[in-house]
Structure 1
Amino acid sequence: MNTFSRFFLAATLTGTLLFLGGCGPKPVSPYAGGSGTASDSMNGNRMGNITEEMGPGTEGLDSMGRGGAGSLAGDADSQSDAYKREHGRCSPEFKPIYFDYDQSSIKGDQIPAMEHNGSYLRNNPSAHVLIEGNTDNRGTNEYNIALGERRAVAAKRYLTEFGIEESRIRTVSYGEERPLFTGSSEDDYAHNRRDDFILE
């Protein structure tokens, strides 16, 4: 090999290494809004290990997977911590409910929020709701998906006992995959352990 070939080979290798060094993993910001589109198990489209109980189709949803009337996308305040603590990721018509650590039963202090949500659905008989079960990030991903599902199903059971038709309610579990807050304080954990109610 002559000197030029060696120089060209060294320059090519150095350039390739520099290029590839910039292609490493990028940090991914936590989920910041919208419910994501609910997958349609009838067509075999599944999103990772998210589980859901299918009801009516997803037609009429906006690009974030929310019903047009319930979208929060235009609310400038919807990303503030105070707003998220009060409303979670619920559509404006609904209130979130919160759970104790590693529990899926609805606590007594969450009954007013459940009654509010049930009353809205009772007064709007054409409305459908997607209940999103969430957990904090303690425990395995598989365990948290199952726990989020139990939380969503508990809320669905409450609403059906309240008199809402089961066909109007769908559930999905996101487990720990869509935290509202990324910190590790007990307050952050407590606000991540919730069900959100999305108008469809």
Structure 2
Amino acid sequence: MRTGKTFFLTVLLLVSTAFVLGGCGSKNQKGSEVTATMDSEAMGPAEPLETEVSPEDTILEARTSAPMLPIYFDFDSSAIRGDQVERIEKNADFLKANPEIRIRIEGNCDPRGTREYNLALGERRAQSAKKYLENLGVSPDRMSTVSWGEEKLLLYGHDELSWAQNRRDDFVIVD
């Protein structure tokens, strides 16, 4: 009796599979082809590829105001890395050449660690950059600091590339 039920269920499964697969085919009837037409009005007016943006409105990297550059940090560190020295020196040169500009140094962290820890680390990073700029001749009165901790992530991935982009100081021109 059991083999009869198994045989019946197998046949039923095969028939229903054939029925389902047979019903999935598409039928192309003659004369039902759709032809695409180019409607020049639907495309709208041509636009130039070039964009005119003033240097004050551009952001080169992260949230840093152009022409300055953000600096990046190692994991759990507020020390200015050797490969970031050239970037912070360019920022100092720009600030010394434009004494009317004030900036806010924003310390950022990747999302690992507690909120409180990351806020403290972000503050240490911002203070480290401020001190470095002071040592290069930028007046401390022109600079303020804030820590965003992990609150203003650029990349939300859970990989080293994303985390490395989030461990940074941004240099934002303020009015």
TM-score of the alignment, normalized to the shorter chain, above 0.5? yes
Supply the AA of the counterpart residue of 2:107: G
**Number of positions where the alignment pairs a residue of Structure 1 with one of Structure 2:** 121
Contact conserved, 1:95 with 1:113, CA < 8 A, in 2?
A: yes
Contact conserved, 2:55 with 2:66, CA < 8 A, in 1?
A: no
Cα deviation, 1:125-171, whole Å, max 9, x if unaligned, reads: 11111100000000000000000000000000000000010000000
Higher relative contact order, structure no. (Cα contacts within 8 Å, ≥ 6 residues apart): 1
Contact conserved, 1:131 with 1:170, CA < 8 A, in 2?
A: yes
Q: Does 1:92 align with 2:66?
A: yes
Q: Does 1:122 align with 2:96?
A: yes
Q: Does 1:113 align with 2:99?
A: no
Contact conserved, 1:132 with 1:174, CA < 8 A, in 2?
A: yes
Aligned to 1:168: 142
Q: TM-score, normalised by structure 1?
A: 0.58
Contact conserved, 1:148 with 1:174, CA < 8 A, in 2?
A: yes
Q: Distance in 1 between matches of 2:124 and 2:64?
A: 18
Cα deviation, 1:17-58, whole Å, max 9, x if unaligned, reads: xxxxxxxxxxxxxxxxxxxxxxxxxxxxxxxxxxxxxxxxxx
Q: Please report how far the alpha carbon of residue 182 of structure 1 lies from its aligned counterpart in structure 2 after TM superposition.
A: 0.4
Aligned to 1:70: 56
Q: Which runs of 5+ in 2 are unaligned?
A: 1-53
Query: What pairs with 1:24-63 in structure 2 (closer than 5 Å)?
Result: none
Aligned to 2:38: none
Q: Distance in 2 between matches of 1:69 and 1:116?
A: 16
Query: What pairs with 1:148-159 in structure 2 (closer than 5 Å)?
Result: 148-159=122-133
- Flag the 1:172–1:69 CA change in 2: closer, same or farther, 3 A: farther
Q: Please report how far the alpha carbon of residue 93 of structure 1 lies from its aligned counterpart in structure 2 after TM superposition.
A: 1.7
Task: Give 3-state SS (helix, strand or coil) of 1:88's partner.
Answer: coil
Q: Does 1:145 align with 2:133?
A: no
**Identity percentage of aligned residues:** 48
Q: TM-score, normalised by structure 2?
A: 0.66
Moved over 3 A (4+): 68-72
Q: Please report how far the alpha carbon of residue 70 of structure 1 lies from its aligned counterpart in structure 2 after TM superposition.
A: 3.4
Please tell me whether Structure 1 or Structure 2 has the larger radius of gyration of its CA atoms.
2
Q: Please report how far the alpha carbon of residue 69 of structure 1 lies from its aligned counterpart in structure 2 after TM superposition.
A: 6.8
- Counterpart among 165, 169, 172 of residue 191 in structure 1: 165
